[in-house]
Amino acid sequence: MFKSLKYYIGVFVVLAITWFLLHSIINNYEALEQQKIDAQLSKAHTDAMINAKAGIEVYATLVSSLKSYTKNSKQFPTEIQLQTYLNDFLKEIKFNDSILVNYIDTNHVFQYVITPQKIDPNALKGISVKSFLSQERVDELDVLMQNNTIKLFTPINLREGWAGFPFNFSVKNSEGEILGYMAPVLNVKYLLDYFYESNNQDIYVRKFLINDSISLTREAVYDGSEIFNTSRDAEYFENFNVKEEDFIYSTIQLFGLKLKVGSAYKKSPIINKNIRKYSYIWYGIAALLLILVLIQFLKNKVLNRNLREANGIVVSKNDELENSITNIQTLIKEIHHRVKNNMQMISGILTMQEDEYEDENVKSALRDSQNRIQSMSLVHEKLYGTDTLKDVHINEYVAQLILSIENTLGNKDLELATEIEIDEKLSFDGDTTANLGLMINELTTNSFKHGFKKDRKNSISISITKTGDYYKLIYKDSGDGLPDDFDFESTTSLGMQLIQILIEQLSGKFKYTRVPEKAYEIYFKPIVSSFTV
């Protein structure tokens, strides 16, 4: 008992250590997979930020160029001169997005309103910005006019139908006198498009925030003001069910404006949990097998001890068993003999009953039953005539079965030739032979009833050959064969129904061919593996 307990403790320790190692490996694997997912998102986010730098540089170049142009001109440019310069420069840098350039004097009144195609498209000249800007913003503009910096204010929704970044810088004449300020408004779409340049926009969603509070898209600014653009950005992060904690952020300081850029998966990748599940399942199976092996090992130790004790008894019993086997074989032969005699008695009773009826249908049914019984009786006769009491030589059995049916159903005037092509060494077990005998009986009976004619030479051909995993029984006769519209599935023929049942018992299949010859082909597997003698 103590020795057995040591074995169990040892197995428990091994299983516990294995569990700990397996759990650690799976956790490490899932952690690595999550790191891969996070790294992929981080890389995509970083790549987008790098791409956006090109757009920022274009913004900086464009605004700085306008500032330099106004500063370095001997005289402050006219609207036409400024528009001409703007078009030439946009063509040079290949900038095709929307842009609106405003020149506003020190009293905050619009003096120039220029687009590449139009001058003052919305009739703003002469209007004071104080009429639609807060006093706080006006104060900021007053401060801006006193220094030389370029400042970017909060994006705005323009009446022209797009969202723009309003840049602002002080304007002075050649003598350094402050004339007001220039306010170029550039389409935010130009910059934000850089975040979508890669081919992975189906995977990632972008989020843009101004000063941590105002949402920005390529088409609109969501700051509570009226949106004049009828289009909406399909990639707006609110269109996707993404949690805030799933975003990673970076911040861009754009001319004094804080632009916060977030990236997240539109649909978070799922770590394959099947590895954990299957690992635990296999661990459980292995642990169970190990315990079963241990139990079996301990049982074997006990059994080996008992076996050694029993060997002496077995040796002494061997002689008794040999005598018993002889007696059992004799008894089995007697059983087969009695079964055969009883079947012959039943067959005789059916023959006697046949004389009591005049109805040919009844007589035919009794003869069919008599042949079926005779086919099974013949199996028992063959079994008790063998040494093994389990195998029947099929060639000999089929020949006697055909002869028995001919004696029962045949006519002296009927000329019949029988051809049997079966290996003389082929043997099957009793159950398989009984099923084959009943099938051959039904087919042969059908030939006698419907196929044979007195005025011609009649023939039967039966063959059994090995075909792959199956044996193939081919039955042919000289009759006209089955009608073309004969349906084996819906037939009411007892014989055909019996054949299908017997084929199913032999795990077989059935086919009736008409070309090149009319023949029944039955594929079957013996109930007990066939053997030859």
pLDDT 10s digits, 65-76: 998 888 888 888
Let me know: does 82 contact 224? Beta carbons within 8 Å: no
Fold of 315-532: Heat Shock Protein 90 (3.30.565)
Mean pLDDT, to the nearest integer, of 117-132? 90
What is the token pair recorded at 171? 């304007």
Mean pLDDT, to the nearest integer, of 2-31? 83
- Matching residue, tokens 């249908």: 361
| CATH 3.30.450.20 at 2-192, yes or no | yes
DSSP alpha helices (H): ranges in 251-389? 274-356, 360-384
The total of other beta-carbon atoms located within 10 Å of residue 49's CB is: 16
**Lowest model confidence (mean pLDDT) among 118-127, 338-347, 495-504:** 338-347
Distance CA 483, CA 45 (A): 77
The β-bridge partners of 181 are: 104, 170
Question: For the chain, what is the mean pLDDT?
Answer: 83
Cα-to-chain-centroid distance, residue 205: 28
What is the token pair recorded at 366? 């009794």
What is the token pair recorded at 28? 């490490």
What pLDDT sits at residue 330? Answer: 52
Mean pLDDT, to the nearest integer, of 320-332? 56
pLDDT at 412 over 80: no
Tens of pLDDT, residue by residue over 481-523, are 888 778 777 777 778 888 888 899 999 998 888 878 889 999 9
Tens of pLDDT, residue by residue over 429-444, are 888 888 888 888 888 8
Dihedral sign, CA of 211, 212, 213, 217? positive
Sequence length of the chain is 533
Q: pLDDT confidence of 396, banded at 50, 70, 90?
A: confident
What pLDDT sits at residue 532? Answer: 47
Q: Do domains 2-192 and 315-532 have the same CATH topology?
A: no
Mean pLDDT, to the nearest integer, of 444-465? 86
Of the chain, the percentage scoring pLDDT greater than 70 comes to 84
- Give Cα separations from 153 to 6, 167, 255, 259 (angstroms): 80, 6, 9, 11
Mean pLDDT, to the nearest integer, of 122-132? 89
**Lowest model confidence (mean pLDDT) among 80-89, 272-281, 311-320, 477-486:** 311-320
pLDDT at 111 over 50: yes
pLDDT at 474 over 90: yes
Of the chain, the percentage scoring pLDDT greater than 90 comes to 26
Domain ranges in the chain are 2-192, 315-532
What pLDDT sits at residue 533? Answer: 37
